[in-house]
């Protein structure tokens, strides 16, 4: 989209893609320089104090400087004409819900076209509708990649390491970091809505199912206290694996929605989002909420409750009053500069974030260290059984010569007799040799293996959950989220650098999750008992004793 420099009497200079709309809106004579330019370019050359005369001079100089000797030939100040056709202020047949789709969003011009396709509207008409909202002061046009001081920054993801290429209007900057959401460059503009997502109070039907356990109730009331009364903007919910931390947030979410606040449930992985969606539906019957993940092609939805992957959050701007971020320590959010930046940008001024995790990093724990204030603990599973404490066995497995010692074989046979046994290995290249070795050794067992790039991974995991295998060998793909009934866990090479103490706690957390099978065995196997192995075991023991002291486990 190209913008014109406009001058409206008593209002001054503005940048507008539709000068005749400005004239119509302000009901004043409007002049514009009749050359359409990229907004990023206009922003870099138009000084704060200016007169009509020196603007043209300046533009001319800059244009020549870029190597175009024709300058701004034919460029003149021109009076804006009358607007033809009408712009729907309040929304008509096709655009009645328009504001519900764009509130709290930051939308690139390409995405506006995508929205037009979704709501079956003319893309040009959509741009005019959006510009009307800019004139009303509800939002602004910004360059998708903007010069801030001396540095270009992608306004969607905050990236400053950009791809540069020469263009007619100087160097053009393109962001690759958020390209999965469509192009973002200094040639393009975005509409940034400033109204937030919530505000109108609405009746919310909230029906908590199933009801909370004692441990969950305790944590839930601490979350509500944080959301309603705390002066702090951030808190951490540290929960045992499989303790039902999501449900602990529902009461606070219901309170916020009734207050007219907007609420975001976010997680780095799509699986988590699609797992939480039916639970929200059950607990908030009849409530319309948004579900945004790479899997869902409909990106513009209605509802002040949003469920989204951390990538999809980049579509929002100061939209949410309350954010629950699950699995803050999981890939791809962990260590991602752009996703962390995007989350902060999506939070409204004064908004609050509750981070949820089973395995907080030391830095996060240090930051949130006062229980009841900004650290909320949920140390017990809903079935009131303690977390299975891992045992350690000294043995160094060599994938090139797959072989298990007598000791480990006794463990393995015992575990398989108890339930489906998962063997975690540190590398993809270990999976097949181990599967083959064990299939030969135990021809009667149903043995399968998988890893992240396995094309049959999804079906195999479905089979595993259904109980089709008695032994499953995999990399960290099952480390989080999945509940496999009656799982027993072996971590082979627990001292491998890919398994830190958090990964070990997560893998151990696959055992004993269900009410029908609340106990399970966990075995860490390694040649050395390194600190990560100690720490993981101690961490689990500490959760159990903390829960025991509070009377939350039997």
What span, in angstroms and rounded, lies between the C-alpha atoms of 204 and 78?
53
For the CB of residue 268, give the shortest distance to Zn ion in the complex, in Å. 17
3-state secondary structure 398-455: CCCCCCCCHHHHHHHHHHHHHCCEEEECCCHHHHHHHHHHHHHHCCCCCEEEECCCCC
24 phi and psi, to 5 degrees?
A: -65, -40
Q: Which stretch binds Zn ion (CB under 5 A): 5-13, 44-52, 175-183, 399-407?
A: 175-183
What span, in angstroms and rounded, lies between the C-alpha atoms of 321 and 288?
18
Rg of the chain taking only CA atoms, in angstroms: 28
Q: Which is nearer to Zn ion, 159 or 501 (CB)?
A: 159
Name the residue with tokens 């009410």: 515
Total residues interacting with Zn ion, rule: CB under 5 A: 8
**Is the CB of residue 291 less than 8 Å from the CB of residue 277?**
yes
What span, in angstroms and rounded, lies between the C-alpha atoms of 315 and 114?
13
Q: Which of 178, 212, 358, 522 binds Zn ion (CB under 5 A)?
A: 178
Q: Which is nearer to Zn ion, 124 or 163 (CB)?
A: 163
For the CB of residue 178, give the shortest distance to Zn ion in the complex, in Å. 3
For the CB of residue 116, give the shortest distance to Zn ion in the complex, in Å. 22
Can you state the angle between helices 250-258 and 270-283, rounded to 10 degrees? 70
Q: Confirm or reject binding of residue 40 to Zn ion (CB under 5 A).
A: no
Taken in order 390, 393, 397, 402, the sign of the CA dihedral is negative
Q: Which is nearer to Zn ion, 294 or 531 (CB)?
A: 294
Q: Confirm or reject binding of residue 159 to Zn ion (CB under 5 A).
A: yes
For the CB of residue 194, give the shortest distance to Zn ion in the complex, in Å. 20
Q: Which is nearer to Zn ion, 218 or 311 (CB)?
A: 311
Q: Which is nearer to Zn ion, 157 or 204 (CB)?
A: 157
What span, in angstroms and rounded, lies between the C-alpha atoms of 22 and 15?
10
Among 197, 206, 199, smallest CA distance to 286 is for 206
Q: Confirm or reject binding of residue 154 to Zn ion (CB under 5 A).
A: yes
Can you state the angle between helices 501-508 and 531-549, rounded to 10 degrees? 50
For the CB of residue 56, give the shortest distance to Zn ion in the complex, in Å. 33
For the CB of residue 335, give the shortest distance to Zn ion in the complex, in Å. 17
- Of residues 209-248, which lie at the interface with Zn ion (CB under 5 A)? none
Residue 63, judged by CB atoms within 10 A of its CB (0-12, 13-18, 19+), counts as: buried
Q: Which stretch binds Zn ion (CB under 5 A): 93-101, 165-173, 179-187, 394-402?
A: 179-187
For the CB of residue 83, give the shortest distance to Zn ion in the complex, in Å. 34
Q: Confirm or reject binding of residue 175 to Zn ion (CB under 5 A).
A: yes
Q: Which is nearer to Zn ion, 32 or 152 (CB)?
A: 152
Q: Confirm or reject binding of residue 314 to Zn ion (CB under 5 A).
A: no
- Of residues 42-101, which lie at the interface with Zn ion (CB under 5 A)? none
Q: Which is nearer to Zn ion, 157 or 256 (CB)?
A: 157
51 phi and psi, to 5 degrees?
A: -120, 165
For the CB of residue 158, give the shortest distance to Zn ion in the complex, in Å. 7
Q: Confirm or reject binding of residue 144 to Zn ion (CB under 5 A).
A: no
Q: Which of 39, 157, 508, 511 binds Zn ion (CB under 5 A)?
A: 157
For the CB of residue 330, give the shortest distance to Zn ion in the complex, in Å. 21
Question: Element (H or E) spanning 106, and its range?
Answer: strand 106-108
Q: Which is nearer to Zn ion, 133 or 156 (CB)?
A: 156
Q: Which is nearer to Zn ion, 156 or 311 (CB)?
A: 156
- Alpha-carbon torsion, ordered 299, 177, 339, 297, to 10 deg: 20
Q: Which stretch binds Zn ion (CB under 5 A): 169-177, 303-311, 444-452, 459-467?
A: 169-177
Q: How does 134-155 read in b/e, with b if 16+ C-beta sit within 10 Å?
A: bbeebbebbbbbbeeeeebbbb
In this structure, the number of other CB atoms found within 10 A of the CB of residue 536 comes to: 27
Q: Which is nearer to Zn ion, 180 or 201 (CB)?
A: 180
Q: Confirm or reject binding of residue 313 to Zn ion (CB under 5 A).
A: no
For the CB of residue 90, give the shortest distance to Zn ion in the complex, in Å. 33
Q: Which stretch binds Zn ion (CB under 5 A): 182-190, 227-235, 428-436, 438-446?
A: 182-190
Q: Which stretch binds Zn ion (CB under 5 A): 148-156, 228-236, 474-482, 532-540?
A: 148-156
- Strand order from edge to edge, sheet including 471-474: 391-394, 522-526, 488-492, 421-424, 471-474, 447-450
Residues that bind Zn ion (CB under 5 A): 154, 156-157, 159, 175, 177-178, 184
């Amino acid at each position: 989209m190209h913008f014109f420099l406009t001058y409206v009497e008593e209002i001054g200079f503005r940048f507008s893609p539709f000068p005749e709309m400005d004239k119509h809106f302000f009901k004043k004579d409007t002049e514009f320089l009749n050359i359409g330019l990229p907004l990023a370019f206009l922003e870099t050359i138009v000084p704060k104090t200016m007169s009509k005369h020196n603007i043209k001079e300046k533009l001319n100089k800059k244009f020549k400087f870029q190597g175009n000797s024709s300058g701004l030939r034919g460029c003149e100040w021109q009076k804006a004409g009358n607007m033809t056709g009408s712009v729907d202020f309040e929304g008509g047949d096709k655009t009645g819900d328009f504001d519900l789709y764009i509130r709290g969003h930051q939308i690139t011009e390409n995405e506006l076209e995508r929205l037009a396709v979704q709501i079956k509207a003319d893309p040009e008409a959509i741009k005019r509708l959006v510009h009307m909202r800019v004139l009303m002061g509800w939002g602004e046009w910004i360059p998708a990649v903007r010069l801030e001081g001396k540095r270009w920054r992608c306004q969607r993801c905050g990236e400053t390491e950009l791809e540069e290429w020469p263009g007619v209007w100087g160097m053009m900057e393109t962001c690759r970091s958020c390209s999965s959401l469509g192009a973002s460059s200094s040639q393009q503009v975005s509409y940034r809505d400033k109204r937030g997502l919530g505000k109108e109070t609405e009746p919310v039907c909230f029906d908590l199912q199933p009801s909370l356990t004692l441990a969950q109730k305790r944590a839930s009331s601490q979350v509500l206290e944080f959301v309603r009364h705390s002066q702090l903007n951030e808190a951490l919910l540290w929960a045992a694996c499989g303790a039902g931390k999501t449900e602990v947030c529902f009461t606070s979410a219901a309170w916020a929605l009734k207050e007219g606040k907007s609420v975001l449930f976010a997680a780095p992985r799509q699986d988590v989002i699609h797992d939480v969606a039916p639970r929200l539906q059950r607990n908030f019957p009849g409530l319309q909420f948004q579900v945004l993940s790479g899997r869902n092609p409909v990106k513009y939805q209605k509802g002040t409750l949003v469920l989204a992957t951390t990538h999809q959050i980049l579509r929002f701007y100061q939209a949410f009053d309350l954010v629950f971020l699950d699995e803050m320590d999981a890939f791809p959010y962990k260590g991602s500069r752009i996703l962390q930046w995007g989350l902060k940008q999506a939070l409204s001024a004064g908004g609050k974030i509750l981070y949820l995790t089973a395995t907080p990093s030391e830095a996060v724990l240090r930051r949130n260290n006062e229980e009841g204030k900004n650290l909320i603990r949920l140390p017990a599973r809903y079935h009131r059984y303690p977390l299975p404490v891992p045992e350690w066995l000294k043995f160094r497995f060599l994938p090139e010569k797959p072989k298990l010692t007598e000791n480990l074989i006794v463990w393995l046979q015992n575990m398989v007799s108890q339930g489906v046994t998962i063997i975690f290995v540190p590398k993809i290249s270990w999976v097949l040799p181990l599967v083959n070795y064990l299939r030969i050794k135990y021809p009667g067992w149903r043995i399968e293996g998988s890893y992240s790039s396995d094309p049959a991974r999804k079906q195999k995991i479905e089979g595993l959950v259904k109980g089709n295998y008695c032994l499953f060998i995999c990399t960290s793909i099952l480390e989080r989220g999945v509940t496999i009934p009656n799982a027993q866990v072996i971590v082979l090479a627990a001292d491998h650098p890919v398994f830190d103490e958090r990964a070990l706690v997560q893998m151990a957390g696959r055992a004993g999750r269900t009410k029908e099978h609340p106990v399970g065995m966990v075995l860490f196997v390694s040649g050395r008992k390194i600190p990560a192995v100690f720490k993981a075991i101690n961490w689990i023991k500490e959760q159990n004793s903390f829960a025991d002291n509070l009377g939350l486990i039997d």
